[in-house]
Amino acid sequence: MPKIALIVGSGGFEGQEGFAEEWRFYPLTPFGWPSAPIKVGLFNGVRIALVLRHGEGHTLLPSEVPYQANIYALKMLGVDTVVALTTVGSLDRRFKPGDLAIVRQMVDHTNGRPSTFFGRGIAAHVVMADPVCPHMSDLLYQTAKFCGLVHIRKAVETALHDSAVLKVMEGPAFSTGAESQMNYRNPLPNLIGMTAMPEVKLFREAEMRVVYLAIITDNDCWCERDVVSAGLVAENSGKVSPIVRKLLARVLVAFQAKRKWLARRKRRPDRCSCVSALDGPAIATDLAHISDGVKRRLHPILKRRLALGSKEQLPSISSEEMCLERLAHSRVRPKLAADMQQQ
């Protein structure tokens, strides 16, 4: 089963060059169907789950993406580490179109998008001070540095920036000139996009490590000579896609090695707060008052946390069994059950 996932949108990875698909997983989750069948296969020797955020053929608007279903399905597969690509506009002269950026902070300006797995019988409040995984983001930066993408603008056309702040707008229309000027004059956000929220909040609730690699395609419209358009976004993301693929090939190998190292370190548990976001008082509801229906509905999300409270709190079904149980309601290849049991 894959432990690492790659989420792509309009960043030029739709062709999946170098990705050898093995099988697909398309479960009906409590939050509906995922954007598209999740493709499981090998990329540069690493087994990953590939999620097309906007669906096959880019049929979903940012506001229509079933973020909950996508992440729930990944949790069912056992994924715990995610690399998410997102195309963005620049609000900072230092961040040029064609560059890449590691997003460390986000500002949520979306509205009306479902942003939690909880409610309907259970209340939880996770910490979002650091919305992305700092350890994996550091590893992404070091990998990019090894690839020669850091501080070498004079040598190459594409450079990678660290510690970017991303403002997430509702969309689907781009900013007006006045909005863009206001965002540009604000010293905090460096980038603006449409898809990272509420996705990153749901990753934290699901106790998954996530890093965001932003592909800068335009200067929004604060720069009159370079007004953003869908054509400009597609053109510039296509230009940088070979570099993104090269970086991803190395990053996924590095992430797999990091995961194996953490797994071997049995005497020193993983201290990353991402994988323990529901510990302590994060779940406000008394565990004794969580109904069996809620436990079953959120089993992949709550399994670890409820096991800490009491073994009796857990339903008698494992996430792997639930994954296989849902195959009858999933649109997958016929031999998927056998493949999953073997892996």
Taking the model in full, what pTM does it have?
0.87
> pLDDT at position 223, please?
79
> pLDDT at position 241, please?
87
Active site residues: 218, 220
Three-state SS across the chain? CCCEEEEECCCCCCCCCCEEEEEEECCCECCECCCCCEEEEEECCEEEEEEECCCCCCCCCHHHCCHHHHHHHHHHHCCCEEEEEEEEEECCCCCCCCCEEEEEEEEEECCCCCCCCCCCCCCECCCCCCCCCHHHHHHHHHHHHHCCCCCCCCCCCCCEEEEEEEEEECCCCCCCHHHHHHHHHCCCCCEEECCCCCHHHHHHHCCCEEEEEEEEEECCCCCCCCCCCHHHHHHHHHHHHHHHHHHHHHHHHHHHHHHHHHHHCCCCCCCCHHHHCCCHHHECCCHHHCCHHHHHHCHHHHHHHHHHHCHHHCCCCCHHHHHHHHHHHCCCCCCHHHHHHHC
> pLDDT at position 234, please?
87
> pLDDT at position 339, please?
46
Which residue ranges of the chain lie beneath pLDDT 50? Answer: 152-155, 311-321, 324-325, 327-343
Q: Does domain 4-270 have CATH number 3.20.20.70?
A: no
> pLDDT at position 270, please?
61
pLDDT tens digits, one per residue of 128-184: 999 999 999 999 999 988 877 765 444 456 788 999 999 999 999 999 999 999 989
> pLDDT at position 309, please?
58
> pLDDT at position 336, please?
43
> pLDDT at position 237, please?
86
pLDDT tens digits, one per residue of 69-79: 999 999 999 99
> pLDDT at position 317, please?
45
